[in-house]
């Protein structure tokens, strides 16, 4: 079941929290909204957000979460020296349907595959069952929501500016005589 190969590009800032990753191949497609841990590359994928799905031959399945399948390491890489991000060979594994799992992995930063646990129980793309060659693209990052302390500091800053502006208006006007 070979469909095509591709890559995804993008820069993920250290403060990023959600990354949308879309994939498509013959008989398979999907959209993953991945929650990323903070820090620097490689980012640990900490969850899969609402709206994530896989479409197998026209049947849609909701992604229910991360899982362990095919030796995944749940990492996304975004080296500082390039704008191309990628997952590694162990890849990212998610669960869907009634106990099935999908592993999205790369042979290289430009060649991707997807394994289904129901079709390849060993999780080995070289033996034990088929894999799908998929094209992977990314979408712009959803901006992180500022923490409450950030909003508090912003409010204090505006309040301070208002106090300074108000105190300058109360200064007596000098008269020339």
Provide the residue ranges of all domains of the chain, joining segments of one domain with +.
Answer: 8-138
- CB-based contacts of 6, cutoff 8 Å, min separation 6: 110, 112, 134, 135, 136, 137
- CB-based contacts of 39, cutoff 8 Å, min separation 6: 14
Predicted confidence (pLDDT) per residue in 90-125, tens digit: 999 999 988 899 999 998 877 899 999 999 998 888
CA distances from 172 to 8, 116, 162, 168 (A): 63, 78, 18, 9
Task: HSE, CB side, 13 Å, CA atoms: give it for residue 65.
Answer: 4
Q: Is the pLDDT score of 63 beyond 80?
A: yes
H or E element in which residue 153 lies: helix 148-169
Predicted confidence (pLDDT) per residue in 141-170, tens digit: 445 566 677 777 888 888 888 888 777 766
Whole-prediction pTM value?
0.67
Q: Is the pLDDT score of 3 beyond 50?
A: no
DSSP string, 32-98: EEEEE-SSSSSEEEEEE-TT-EEEETTEEEEEEEE---TT---EEE--TT-SEEEE-SS-EEEEETT
Decide the pairing of beta strands 111-116 and 100-108: antiparallel
pLDDT at 133: 92
Q: Is the pLDDT score of 2 beyond 50?
A: no
């Amino acid at each position: 079941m070979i469909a095509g190969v591709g890559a995804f590009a993008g820069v993920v800032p250290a403060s990023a929290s959600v990354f949308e990753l879309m994939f498509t191949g013959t008989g398979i497609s999907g959209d993953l909204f991945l929650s990323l841990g903070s820090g620097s590359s490689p980012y640990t994928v900490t969850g899969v957000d609402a709206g994530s799905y896989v479409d197998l031959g026209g049947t849609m399945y909701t992604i229910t979460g991360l899982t362990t399948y095919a030796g995944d390491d749940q990492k996304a890489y975004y080296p500082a020296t390039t704008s191309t991000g990628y997952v590694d060979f162990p890849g990212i594994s998610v669960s869907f349907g009634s106990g099935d799992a999908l592993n999205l992995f790369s042979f290289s930063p430009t060649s991707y595959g997807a394994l289904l646990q129901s079709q390849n129980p060993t999780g080995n793309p070289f033996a034990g069952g088929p894999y799908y060659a998929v094209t992977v693209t990314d979408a712009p990052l959803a901006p992180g929501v500022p923490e409450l302390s950030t909003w508090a500091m912003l409010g204090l800053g505006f309040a301070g500016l208002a106090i300074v502006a108000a105190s300058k208006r109360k200064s007596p006007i000098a008269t020339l005589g």
